[in-house]
Structure 1
Amino acid sequence: MSSAAIRPLANMLPRNLFDAEHDAFRETVRKFYEKEVIPNTQKYELQQHVDRDLWNKAGAMGLLCASMPEQYGGSGVDRLYSMILIEEQAYAMDSSTGFSLHSDIVANYINNFGNEQQKATWLPKMATGEIVTAIAMTEPGTGSDLQAIKTTAQQQGDEYLINGAKTFITNGYLCDLVIVVCKTGDSEKGSANLSLLLVEANRAGFSKGKPLNKIGMKGQDTCELFFDDVRVPKENLLGLEGMGFMMLMKELAWERLIVAIICQAGAEAAFAHTVQYTKQRKAFGKSISAFQNTRFKLAELRSEIDFCRAYLDRCMQLQLEEQLGIDAAAAAKYKISEMFSKVVDECLQLHGGYGYMMEYPIARAYIDNRANRIYAGTNEIMKELIARSL
């Protein structure tokens, strides 16, 4: 079932976010996934990362860093284009490509906090796919608690000396440039200690582990990064020293909304595949969809999907108006990722034994989905953020 066939079933609520130009862009993105990504899914899962030239192909089609200013190689468009890219990836049921982290997280840090030289040097190369980027926050002993990181960057003359390790880094294996969250200075004031440094992958002392063997999202490039006396010039500091935590907090709301978009579209795709399957699959002389239990279960799932879609689209409107609050983004990430987990579990059940077979899209969705309740801050942390706003 193609992503083109999914969308009429998936988008059950009328949406007024998009215009004709958005729709044309969506068609371009859909064709890219159907031609370049979906046929290679098994290959990417076996090698645990996409082919490097896929990034160049995406760049050539204007699918990378689209929301960046035109002067830096982007198209200068709004984040609805980013939403379309993320949705179409989910409708294609692809978990291999790390484009959104590259284009909508790393690029934003550089564009929002970088100086003119940093933006002119890196953003055009990111837009064409000449370089792949990552951001390194999580450490082997530190997950959601960013203030507890151990990686250090000691200033020595005109350089920083970086030591430490990061793990679970998306795009880490193929990355040419990574933003590293480090502790700088001698301050013991927690968040006042954090800074962001741009580190090129070819610097001495910087090494990468093998792609990590995950239970799902096997085609996505995820690995550990190691920094052993890595020297970078002071010019590689992003923004101001000690302002890292503030910069991270400013971008985390959008990052969490990205996860919500992934989960919403993923739930819609899983539901669409299941509707089609229950109509075609027969038991006791009639289609599964004719049984009351199936009809009621699908009605229940559709209702939950529709309610979450309405909230997500409202959050997206607030994001476009630069009014999206940390609590609203946390609520979207928490609730919609929980909804996706319920939907994909119930949809697999409606597939019966075939739902456990990897050749059926629902099986891949089931195992790929689980990480959404963990990354970008666990759902437990999302509840804490919501509670703080009460």
Structure 2
Amino acid sequence: MEIINYTDEHHEYRQRFRSFLETDILPHKNQWDNAQLIPKDIWKKLGKNGFLCPTVEKAYGGAGQDFLYSVIVIEEIARANYLGLFAYLHSEVVVPYITAYATEAQKMAYLPGCVVGDIITAVAMTEPDAGSDLASMVTTAVEQDDHIIINGSKTFISNGVNCDLIVLAARDPQEKNPHKAISLFLVEADTPGLKKGVQFEKMGMHSQDTTELFFNNCKIPVSGRLGPKGAGFKLLMNKLQQERLVCAVSAVACSEFCLEWTVNYFRQALADKSHLARSQASQFALAEMVTELKMEKAFVNGLVLSHMAGENVILETSMAKFSTTDSAKRISSRCMDLLEEMGGIEGNCPLVDAFNDVRVLSIYAGTNEIMKQIIAKELLSSSKSLC
């Protein structure tokens, strides 16, 4: 059952990216995991081959392709079992803030570099004491003459080490309304007063760089503001639909990888007349997980089409985000269980990496508890039919 009708051009792009992963990326995975960083020249290779920011308009150096090209990149990275290559954070989460809210001058200054990989982006929202509550952030942005002075810190910043450009959320301390106090800013990484902290050592996604950012009287021009003053909270909320959909697409593809690998392992075990594959409990577990995954993929693919059509599906993407990421954790864990001792041997069993990598999916883009709050609030405050 195909919900999304990919064109021949889509299929060619998928095959080209899959080949690129196999030849230019995966042979170096262990090296980059150990270094906890993907070299910047790899970002430039991604850009040169058209695998960054595929939806950016041609006027700014992009290919002007549809969102399905982005979905293909997300899926193939997950199916390659390499979430540490977190290129779609740049392409599908951060850069869309620039394409949607930047001035023409800002777009011309930054988007061509983002497309070719010369500029790597990060978004800085989370703070040590604020967590998922963006309205309680304390990093300040004070306007003085023709400059803005930024003070504070951000944490858990993905691409934080490699980034050249940061979409920063900060608040005006003079504004008492917490939602109207927040604005967005474009901060170049070499701006005086900005310091990158020590890189975090994470459970998974080892080659994806994550760090803290510190702002000490960091001065940027007023022209560095992204979007209207005081509209930051609204602009962040407007982009959460795509961010959470991206997370759900990735989670489904991660689950597909785990199940395909496990099923293939069991097929070989069955051919070898192993007791492992003849276990009814194991066979039922596989049947249950595949059925669950098929239904979730149909739901997510439907949301992809709705999103491309410009529909407001923030409620449904919140559902998809928490459901698919919980499933990815459960499926990766259950598949490892089915393999018995084999399931815990790092290096021999790729599910170990998958298990470690998918753990964070339920945390970023808003924790799954936040997703449930959003869903419950909408259900209880609306008279709309559930069907």
Aligned residue type for 2:366: G
1:363 and 1:111 map into 2 onto residues whose CA distance is: 37
1:223 aligns with 2:219: no
1:36 aligns with 2:15: no
1:344 and 1:164 map into 2 onto residues whose CA distance is: 38
1:355 and 1:324 map into 2 onto residues whose CA distance is: 41
1:348 and 1:48 map into 2 onto residues whose CA distance is: 25
Aligned residue type for 1:341: K
- Rate the CA distance shift 1:17–1:283 in 2: closer, same or farther, 3 A: closer
Deviation per CA, 1:203-262, whole angstroms, max 9, x where unpaired? 111111122011111111111111111000000000111000110010011100111011
What is the TM-score of this pair, normalised by structure 2?
A: 0.95
1:290 to partner: Cα distance? 2.6
Q: Which residue of 2 aligns with 1:352?
A: 340
Aligned residue type for 2:95: A
1:197 aligns with 2:185: yes
Say which is worse superposed, 213-222 or 253-262, in terms of deviation: 213-222
1:133 aligns with 2:121: yes
Aligned residue type for 1:73: G
Give the aligned length.
378
Q: Which residue of 2 aligns with 1:254?
A: 242
Q: What SS class does the counterpart of residue 207 from structure 1 fall into?
A: strand
Q: How does 1:113-132 map to 2 (within 5 A)?
A: 113-132=101-120
Deviation per CA, 1:1-34, whole angstroms, max 9, x where unpaired? xxxxxxxxxxxx4343311111111011111111
Q: Which residue of 2 aligns with 1:273?
A: 261
1:287 and 1:116 map into 2 onto residues whose CA distance is: 65
2:183 and 2:249 map into 1 onto residues whose CA distance is: 29
- Rate the CA distance shift 1:384–1:240 in 2: closer, same or farther, 3 A: same
Q: What SS class does the counterpart of residue 315 from structure 1 fall into?
A: helix
Aligned residue type for 2:228: L
1:189 and 1:174 map into 2 onto residues whose CA distance is: 34
Contact 2:198/2:212 (8 A) holds in 1: yes
1:95 to partner: Cα distance? 1.6
Q: How does 1:101-180 map to 2 (within 5 A)?
A: 101-180=89-168
1:46 to partner: Cα distance? 1.0
1:18 and 1:284 map into 2 onto residues whose CA distance is: 38
Q: What SS class does the counterpart of residue 14 from structure 2 fall into?
A: helix
1:268 and 1:33 map into 2 onto residues whose CA distance is: 18
Contact 1:134/1:178 (8 A) holds in 2: yes
Contact 1:280/1:287 (8 A) holds in 2: no
1:127 and 1:322 map into 2 onto residues whose CA distance is: 23
Q: What SS class does the counterpart of residue 278 from structure 1 fall into?
A: helix
Aligned residue type for 1:238: L
Q: Which residue of 2 aligns with 1:97?
A: 85
Q: What SS class does the counterpart of residue 339 from structure 2 fall into?
A: helix
1:45 aligns with 2:11: no
- Rate the CA distance shift 1:285–1:64 in 2: closer, same or farther, 3 A: closer
1:324 and 1:288 map into 2 onto residues whose CA distance is: 46
1:51 to partner: Cα distance? 1.1
1:38 to partner: Cα distance? 1.1
Q: What SS class does the counterpart of residue 147 from structure 1 fall into?
A: helix
1:282 to partner: Cα distance? 6.8
Say which is worse superposed, 94-103 or 192-201, in terms of deviation: 94-103
Contact 1:180/1:198 (8 A) holds in 2: yes
Q: Which residue of 2 aligns with 1:365?
A: 354
- Rate the CA distance shift 1:71–1:283 in 2: closer, same or farther, 3 A: closer
Q: What SS class does the counterpart of residue 18 from structure 1 fall into?
A: coil
Q: Which residue of 1 aligns with 2:383?
A: none
Match of 2:297 among 299, 309, 316: 309
1:57 and 1:272 map into 2 onto residues whose CA distance is: 29
Seq. identity, % = 37
1:116 to partner: Cα distance? 0.2
Deviation per CA, 1:49-74, whole angstroms, max 9, x where unpaired? 11111100000001111101010111
Aligned residue type for 1:326: I
Contact 2:53/2:114 (8 A) holds in 1: yes
Match of 2:372 among 383, 386, 390: 383
1:183 and 1:261 map into 2 onto residues whose CA distance is: 32
Q: What SS class does the counterpart of residue 82 from structure 1 fall into?
A: helix
Match of 1:325 among 313, 318, 322: 313
Q: Which residue of 2 aligns with 1:77?
A: 65
The CA RMSD measured in Å over matched residues stands at 1.4
1:287 to partner: Cα distance? 5.4
1:182 to partner: Cα distance? 0.3
Q: What SS class does the counterpart of residue 219 from structure 1 fall into?
A: coil
1:338 to partner: Cα distance? 1.1
Say which is worse superposed, 163-172 or 97-106, in terms of deviation: 97-106
What is the TM-score of this pair, normalised by structure 1?
A: 0.95
1:90 to partner: Cα distance? 0.2
1:364 and 1:323 map into 2 onto residues whose CA distance is: 35
Contact 2:122/2:158 (8 A) holds in 1: yes
1:185 to partner: Cα distance? 4.9
Say which is worse superposed, 241-250 or 207-216, in terms of deviation: 207-216
